[in-house]
Chains A and B, each alone.
Chain A
Amino acid sequence: MIRTYKSCIIKILLLFFINIIFINGALAAHIESADSAYKTGHYDQAVTLYNEILKNEGSSSELYYNLGNAYAKIGDYGNAVLCYLRSLRLDPSNKNAKENLNYIESKVIETNNSELKDKKLSLDAENPSFFYSVRMFISENHLSDTWAIWALVCFLVFIACLSCYLFCKNVIIRKIGFFGGIFFIFISILTLIFSFIASSYKSNQGVIISPKVKLLSEASSNSKENPVFLTRGTRMTILDIYPTDSNEPKWYKVRLNSDFVGWIEASDFIPVDK
């Protein structure tokens, strides 16, 4: 009786592992075929394959980076910028994604400037406010988990300091324990708050993905438009969303600077965070 029970468990475990190996093997082959499509220069095929993995298996910073590279190679700078931004949202320390994002955005700026010609409009994005840059530092430059780990480490150091204070008889060690404890519990609480801020943060950035887009003064297709086209890959700040009846966004009010504020259709624009 016991033996059959044991063998049953073993069978279930075995099945479970085989399943994992099989699924992982298929997925690895999937990723590999996408990589090789990219390496042999079939970039549009690589785009389709990476997007499939993204849809079926989930995302990672590296996957978004690779997809961004494939988009950049076929000249779709809009989606490339979007992918690099998403890659950086998942891992702000991804140096290559940052470099490629800068490179593609410099190309986008070139295209925008050539469209600008001699019109007296500015295309420089505004410098973020102090409050916003603090928020960016907390939420975009660091992951919520990074803050959480710092909070935990500081808490453990606080525990160590506290035990020094409680159990030691040497006065100097007890003093260090007391003040160190106060310091570290303060840092721990602060970073824990940061971690919550970062985890609830939603980027208000978005990217133009249609080749050429004009900003409209109102959320309707026959309103006055800005005379200058913005090319795909231009990053803009979302100010407002005009939803459809089914609560899907239909128009976004976006802003680059005081010269470029207006409405843009949802089919031309994708926000970084959904």
Chain B
Amino acid sequence: MSRRSSVLLMLLISVIGYMTGASINLSVSPQRGKNHIEVGDMFYLYITLTDIDQAPNRPNLTGAKLAYFDRTSQQSSFQSVNGVTSKSYKATYTATLRAEKEGTFSYGPISIGGIKSNQVKYSIGPKSSQSNVYNAQNTNTSTDDDSKPKFIGKGDGNLFLKATVSESTAFELQALVYTVKLYTTYDAIKFIGATAAPKFDGFVVEESKDISNSLTFETYQGKNYATAIIARYIIFPQITGNLKITGNTYTISVDRREYYHDAFWGNMSYSTPLQLNVTPNDLIINVKALPEPKPVDFSGGVGTFSISSELNNSDFKTNQAASIIYKVHGTGNIKYVQLPDLSALYPPELEVYSPKTSQNISVGSTSVSGDVTFDYSFMPLDEGNFNIPEVKFVYFNPESARYETSIAKGYVISVGKGADNGNKLLKKLKFDSQLQNVSIKSLRKEYSTYNKSFLYWLGYIIPSILLLLIYLIYLRYAALHADMISFNSRRADKLARKRLKKAHTALKNGNSDKFYDELLVALWGYLSDKLKMPTSELMRENIRNMMMSKNVSDNLVEMFINLIDEAEFAKYSSVNGSDNMIKIYNEAINTINTIEKELKK
């Protein structure tokens, strides 16, 4: 049963063979190591004939020139099944062509011995710019996928470059490290040169010089490679979104070892120089914006940082510069961190100048770290105790995705009086931003000075006139006064007699009090007029002196003074006889008369 069925199957196959037999198949393939045809490339047209004995004509393809045409393989088979002999024959002709024109063309169908072939289409692309001299050795195993390294070398990649970045998703301003690593199985690398820098769009780039030249060995996809880092860049994304880094092309010269079997020496090898153009893979980085709201005093630092302060001086004096150092230490975009505006933070009595900045930054394989020193100098403008405030350094930590703060401690300094050496640069300078009160009264459109106002000149005129008037009055008064005195002096005895008359009437009436009063008034008045002295200034001593100077005899003066004494004594005593009164009255008249006579001499 089983035997019969197998025979049946054989028969069936041979029948199908007869029925399908005699066919022509056309196919086009680009040169090895490429998946498309470019102008100038060689490509192949395969014509496979089945059960046709004839040879095809030399094909004539548009856009290409035939270089070589020959039969490349031939196979025939004979089968004898149950006495039935079948023969099959297959031949392949290969046409080697050089692409000459761009475009999409088709070839066929062709017919040989009444049998028609299929039609092939082929397209010739433009000449690629990256074609190189050694393109015979270049084989791209996977060129479609940009994100994979471009393998260059024999078959499975003997040399390639791989680009990596420390984080594929990152925050704005976060420091990233872009590394290009060389993987090779070749013996010796003689030269590596980059034709251009990689294209970093939207990044700030720092090239790291920290590249070791020694090779390390690494297994990649099951194969051992010698590896070396050939470029390292520290990149800081400046904008958000998906940012692309395009790898640059490196020219690498290597030695390729070829092995062969020598009949005499056995297995031998030699090396041939090889120049390769290699491009690392492109990378796409997803950059996220820093979370909002940003703190007001955000320093721009993304990473982990700490700040410390150091005050060098201990002795502060006015107009003498001192320095304070702020040191930011950490990992991240440390080169771009900024301190808050210290001149706004510090008390106005301390003038802060712009800092000297020094950086000590090293680039590791995954991060940038180091410290930045801000050396501020400041100048105390006033004496007293001042508070140097804490300085807050606000940065964004991408690991915790939060804003964090590091604080540099503050100080209290006491400023003593410094030397005031008159240096112009060290003069007290500060901007007083306070406004002054504008009083409405003080606003003037026209400015006139006092010396042009009449009122001002009145200030001179009035006192002058007043003084003049007073002086004139004074002169007049003085003249008048002088007249009065001499007049009175001349009329002194007349006046005295007048007063004595009054005393006489008092005597007649027997009024002793009034009599003495009038008598004394007459006597004193006489002296006052005669000596040109006010009555109040008259005293017994100066009467004597004055009389002497007027050549009045000594005993006469004694008599006069005695008379006054007697009158005053009688006035206050109880002895008031009318005889005594008459006696004193006569005496007074006699004394005045004799004085008059003596003065007239």
Are A and B genuine complex partners? yes
Collect the chain A residues with CB atoms within 8 Å of residue B470's CB. 163
Which partner residue on chain A sits nearest B432 by CB separation?
A: A96
Q: Is B82 an interface residue (CB 8 A)?
A: no
Quick check: A27 and B440 within 8 Å, CB to CB? yes
Quick check: B443 and A69 within 8 Å, CB to CB? no
Q: Is A192 an interface residue (CB 8 A)?
A: yes
Collect the chain A residues with CB atoms within 8 Å of residue B427's CB. 102
Q: Is A199 an interface residue (CB 8 A)?
A: yes
Quick check: A196 and B442 within 8 Å, CB to CB? no
Quick check: A100 and B450 within 8 Å, CB to CB? no
Collect the chain B residues with CB atoms within 8 Å of residue A167's CB. 471, 474
Which partner residue on chain B sits nearest A95 by CB separation?
A: B432
Quick check: B435 and A59 within 8 Å, CB to CB? no
Quick check: A152 and B459 within 8 Å, CB to CB? yes
Quick check: B435 and A35 within 8 Å, CB to CB? yes
Chain B residues bordering chain A, tally (CB within 8 A): 33
Quick check: A148 and B444 within 8 Å, CB to CB? no
What is the CA–CA distance of A198 and B450 in the complex, to the nearest angstrom? Answer: 11
What is the CA–CA distance of A63 and B196 in the complex, to the nearest angstrom? Answer: 63
Collect the chain A residues with CB atoms within 8 Å of residue B433's CB. 69, 73
Quick check: A148 and B432 within 8 Å, CB to CB? no
Main secondary structure of the interface of B (DSSP, over half): loop
Quick check: A62 and B442 within 8 Å, CB to CB? yes
Quick check: A59 and B467 within 8 Å, CB to CB? no
Quick check: B435 and A152 within 8 Å, CB to CB? no
What is the CA–CA distance of A145 and B447 in the complex, to the nearest angstrom? Answer: 11
Quick check: B467 and A60 within 8 Å, CB to CB? no
Which partner residue on chain A sits nearest B466 by CB separation?
A: A159
What is the CA–CA distance of A252 and B456 in the complex, to the nearest angstrom? Answer: 38
Quick check: A103 and B450 within 8 Å, CB to CB? no
Query: Contacts A62-B436, A96-B434, A148-B450: A166 and B471 contacting too (C-beta < 8 A)?
Result: yes
CB proximity of A160 to chain B, nearest CB, Å: 9
What is the CA–CA distance of A210 and B456 in the complex, to the nearest angstrom? Answer: 43
- Interface digits, A31-73 against B, CB 8 Å rule (1 contact, 0 not)? 1000100110000000000000100011111110110010011
Collect the chain A residues with CB atoms within 8 Å of residue B460's CB. 152, 155
CB proximity of A75 to chain B, nearest CB, Å: 12
Quick check: A102 and B444 within 8 Å, CB to CB? no
Collect the chain B residues with CB atoms within 8 Å of residue A58's CB. 443-446
What is the CA–CA distance of A160 and B464 in the complex, to the nearest angstrom? Answer: 10
Please report the number of residue pairs spanning A and B whose Cβ atoms sit closer than 8 angstroms.
Answer: 102
B436-461 CB contacts (< 8 Å) to partner A: 436-440, 442-447, 449-452, 456, 459-460
Q: Is A18 an interface residue (CB 8 A)?
A: no
The residue from B443, B449, B459, B471 contacting A144, defined by CB atoms under 8 A apart: B449
Q: Is B430 an interface residue (CB 8 A)?
A: yes
Quick check: A38 and B435 within 8 Å, CB to CB? yes
Quick check: A199 and B452 within 8 Å, CB to CB? yes
Q: Is A218 an interface residue (CB 8 A)?
A: no
Collect the chain A residues with CB atoms within 8 Å of residue B435's CB. 35, 38-39, 65-66, 69
Q: Is B431 an interface residue (CB 8 A)?
A: yes
Q: Is A115 an interface residue (CB 8 A)?
A: no
Quick check: A144 and B438 within 8 Å, CB to CB? no
Quick check: B438 and A149 within 8 Å, CB to CB? no
Q: Which of B429, B442, B443, B471 has the most CB of A within 10 A?
A: B443
Quick check: B438 and A66 within 8 Å, CB to CB? yes
The residue from B446, B450, B459 contacting A145, defined by CB atoms under 8 A apart: B450
What is the CA–CA distance of A117 and B299 in the complex, to the nearest angstrom? Answer: 32
Sorting the interface of chain A by its residue count into under 10, 10 to 19, 20 to 34 or 35 or more gives: 35 or more
- Interface digits, B454-485 against A, CB 8 Å rule (1 contact, 0 not)? 00100110011001001100100000000000
Query: Contacts A62-B437, A96-B432: A163 and B467 contacting too (C-beta < 8 A)?
Result: yes
Collect the chain B residues with CB atoms within 8 Å of residue A28's CB. 440
Q: Is A223 an interface residue (CB 8 A)?
A: no
Query: Contacts A24-B440, A63-B438: A148 and B463 contacting too (C-beta < 8 A)?
Result: no
What is the CA–CA distance of A192 and B452 in the complex, to the nearest angstrom? Answer: 11
Q: Which of B429, B435, B437, B464 has the most CB of A within 10 A?
A: B435
Collect the chain B residues with CB atoms within 8 Å of residue A59's CB. 443-445
Q: Is A195 an interface residue (CB 8 A)?
A: yes
What is the CA–CA distance of A72 and B438 in the complex, to the nearest angstrom? Answer: 18
CB proximity of B448 to chain A, nearest CB, Å: 9
CB proximity of A143 to chain B, nearest CB, Å: 8
Collect the chain A residues with CB atoms within 8 Å of residue B440's CB. 24, 27-28, 31, 57
What is the CA–CA distance of A31 and B442 in the complex, to the nearest angstrom? Answer: 13
What is the CA–CA distance of A39 and B435 in the complex, to the nearest angstrom? Answer: 9
The residue from B429, B443, B452, B463 contacting A159, defined by CB atoms under 8 A apart: B463
Which partner residue on chain A sits nearest B435 by CB separation?
A: A66
CB proximity of B431 to chain A, nearest CB, Å: 5
Which partner residue on chain A sits nearest B456 by CB separation?
A: A148
The residue from B430, B451, B464, B474 contacting A148, defined by CB atoms under 8 A apart: B451
Quick check: A62 and B432 within 8 Å, CB to CB? no
CB proximity of A45 to chain B, nearest CB, Å: 14
29 interchain pairs, CB-CB under 8 A: A27-B440, A28-B440, A58-B443, A58-B446, A60-B442, A60-B443, A62-B436, A62-B438, A62-B439, A62-B442, A63-B438, A65-B436, A66-B435, A69-B432, A72-B431, A73-B433, A96-B432, A96-B434, A96-B436, A99-B429, A103-B429, A148-B451, A155-B460, A156-B459, A163-B470, A166-B471, A195-B450, A195-B451, A199-B449
Q: Give the B-binding residues of A (Cβ under 8 A).
A: 24, 27-28, 31, 35, 38-39, 53, 57-63, 65-66, 69, 72-73, 90, 94, 96, 99-100, 102-104, 106, 143-145, 148-149, 152, 155-156, 159, 162-163, 166-167, 192, 195-196, 198-199
Report the 3 A-B pairs with minimum CB-CB distance, sorted nearest first: A58-B445, A148-B450, A62-B436
A145-B449, A145-B450, A167-B471 are known contacts; what are 16 more A-B pairs with Cβ within 8 Å?
A: A27-B443, A28-B440, A35-B435, A39-B435, A57-B443, A59-B444, A60-B443, A60-B444, A94-B436, A96-B432, A99-B430, A143-B449, A155-B459, A166-B471, A199-B449, A199-B451
